[in-house]
A and B are shown apart, each in its own frame.
Chain A
Amino acid sequence: MIAHFLNDLTIFVLAIFVGYEIISKVPVILHTPLMSGTNAIHGIVLVGAMLVLGGADTTLARVVGFCAVVLGAVNVVGGFMVTDRMLQMFRKKSGPNEP
């Protein structure tokens, strides 16, 4: 058990540093899309929701698990799509719009 925990803790600590390093180089204009994009990534909690719902054995557990999966899927799909919509606008304009 403690080996499991130490494994997880190691990954956790290393991920903090990775998260900090890759984020610190983002220009201000992309902060909103970045917030929205990382918001979509924590939708990965959907994976946890799927695992607990998959193992649910009572009606109550299924209902709770179902709600968790719905919420997780809203987070994932909504998050990525809304980020894509924002970023679509940052395309370099060319052709008819140029004066």
Chain B
Amino acid sequence: MIHTTSLGAGIHFAYLVSSVLFILGIKGLSSPRTARSGNRLAAIGMLLAIVATLLDRQILSYTWIVAGIVVGSAIGAVAARTVTMTAMPQMVALFNGSGGGAAALVSSLEYRHLIQAGALPLDSGISILLGALIGAISFSGSIVAFGKLQGLLPEKAVTYPLQQVVNGLLAAAILVLAWMVLNGSGGSHAFIAFLAGSLLLGVLAVIPIGGGDMPVVISLLNSFTGLATAATGFALHNVVLIISGTLVGASGTLLTVLMCKAMNRPITNVLFGAFGAAPSATTSPAGGGAAAMAGKPVRDVSVEDAATILAYARKVIIIPGYGLAVAQAQHALRELADLLKARGVEVVYAIHPVAGRMPGHMNVLLAEANVPYEELKDLDAVNPEFESADVALVVGANDVVNPAARHDSQSPIYGMPILDADKSKHIIVLKRSMKPGFAGIDNELFYDPKTMMLFGDAKDSIAKLAQTVKAL
């Protein structure tokens, strides 16, 4: 809206300040030192935009708006305060879905508003349809992602015959409905069908993606919600919606690409490859290889032996994985590391870019346990160090240390950069059972003669190790 009144100009100016605060906020998030203040700057920008909007002349009644903001804020605040750091990815997915749902509803109301006013101009019509489509996909897709990470839906990739064909037909039907909405032949029934089809497409698009790829999906859906928001901005001619939505759309897309690069897989493979499908569905030679491996012997180790090896090592590299987070063992692990350091052992943590379920998830979890920054090393920095390490301690990690990624071109994770745990003198693996990892692939590292397996709950095992090291 181009404002002519001074009040309108004031609102427009406030939106401009908000947009600048968002940009500065995201910039602040790019350094650990300024990240927290950056987030706060963005929050201030948001508050400013909301207060300015309350002054808008388009708003006739405040009761419902204030009630809605109070209810939504309460839900958001309680959820954000009570969520555990482990469950962070699915919480972000839910918040993202909320935004997507809001964008779809805003688009629907604006459609109704314009139809009642008598005409649906082409530019507004396309913006509305895009906002509804992308918002609805983001909403239902995020809920499926949440369900998979929370264990409410099967984590495995769900596949069925003619999956791509079904999705393609649905997409075509959505296009036809969009055409009917735009030329006015379908009426509001076509719009509702369009919305329903978009919701279904979101579900069908995420269902065939395995739990291990959920970080990529959440990141992509995050950028989708940004674009949906920008589309509502086009429909409402609102500058701050366009700028903020687009900033998120661009950043989310870039982040998604970076994550795919870390896994060395093109994004199309993540979205359509049904990576991590149930073993019964895979008939590839990799499945046969895994079965053959299952017959090989595995070397068990006692807590005492493992503790002794750790205590008398010169250098230990700890490789944490999602299993660490599941067992809530990050605090116990830090205590063990402190004990080892007190004995003069050099301890570093090797962080794989896709360890955990979101990029940087493992850093957040270890930071929660007061592990100093300087001890966290990323893949490129730590890999040359394994050859000089006495022990690689693998805690609940699996696919990121699977040597098959280096040499087995049949393996689904072939080409993914891995941590070279197998190059250290000893490998101690803390694992609950011999079950394969998130990607559903067996790991030949566990059958390596240098590898010792310490079975049991990670937190429990680490606490016992710490006790034994203390007593040595």
Contact = CB atoms under 8 A, between A and B. Distances in A.
A4 B149 CA distance: 43
A82 B30 CA distance: 17
Interface stretch (B152-160, B169-177, B370-378, B459-467): B370-378
A35 to B, nearest CB: 6
Interface string B71-87: 11101110111010100
A66 B63 CA distance: 10
B56 interface: yes
A43 B99 CA distance: 6
B249 A16 contact: yes
Contact of B39 (A20, A78, A83): A83
B376 A82 contact: no
A41 B42 contact: yes
Given A52-B110, A84-B40, A38 B101 contact: no
Contact of A45 (B39, B85, B241, B373): B241
A44 B46 contact: yes
Contact of A70 (B43, B68, B113): B68
A32 B251 contact: no
Question: What is the size category of the interface that chain B forms with chain A?
Answer: 35 or more
B254 A51 contact: no
A42 B363 contact: no
A94 to B, nearest CB: 11
A77 to B, nearest CB: 4
B165 interface: no
Interface in A65-99: 65-93, 97, 99
A94 B88 CA distance: 26
Given A22-B30, A34-B29, A73-B72, A80 B46 contact: yes
Contacts of A66: 64, 67-68
Nearest to B227: A42
Interface in B28-42: 29-32, 35-36, 38-40, 42
A37 B25 contact: yes
A37 B337 CA distance: 31
Contacts of B62: 54
A18 B99 contact: no
A53 B77 contact: no
A80 B39 contact: yes
Contacts of A79: 76, 80, 92, 95
A20 B258 CA distance: 12
A81 B251 contact: no
A85 to B, nearest CB: 7
A47 B27 contact: no
A28 B353 contact: yes
A89 B252 CA distance: 23
Could you tell me the dominant secondary structure of chain B's interface residues?
Answer: helix
A45 B106 contact: yes
Contacts of B232: 45, 48
B451 interface: no
B398 interface: no
Residue of A1, A66, A76 most packed against chain B (CB within 10 A):
A76
A77 B27 contact: no
B99 A72 contact: yes
A56 B109 contact: yes
A23 B81 CA distance: 27
Contacts of B238: 47-48, 51
B98 interface: yes
Contacts of A61: 109, 112
A72 B98 contact: yes
Contacts of A8: 233-234, 237, 239, 242
Residue of B236, B241, B341, B353 most packed against chain A (CB within 10 A):
B241
Contact of B99 (A17, A36, A45, A82): A45
A22 to B, nearest CB: 5
Nearest to A72: B102
B69 interface: yes
Residue of A25, A84, A88 most packed against chain B (CB within 10 A):
A84
B247 interface: yes
B255 A55 contact: no
Nearest to B138: A42
A73 B99 CA distance: 9
B230 interface: yes
Contacts of B255: 23, 31, 34-35
Contacts of B59: 50-51, 54-55
A26 to B, nearest CB: 4
A97 B335 CA distance: 12
9 contacts: A11-B243, A15-B250, A28-B360, A32-B364, A34-B251, A41-B42, A51-B56, A55-B113, A82-B95
Given A11-B243, A48-B106, 19 more contacts: A11-B246, A27-B32, A29-B363, A30-B32, A33-B364, A36-B88, A37-B26, A41-B244, A41-B248, A42-B248, A44-B240, A52-B106, A73-B70, A73-B75, A77-B73, A77-B76, A79-B95, A82-B83, A90-B35
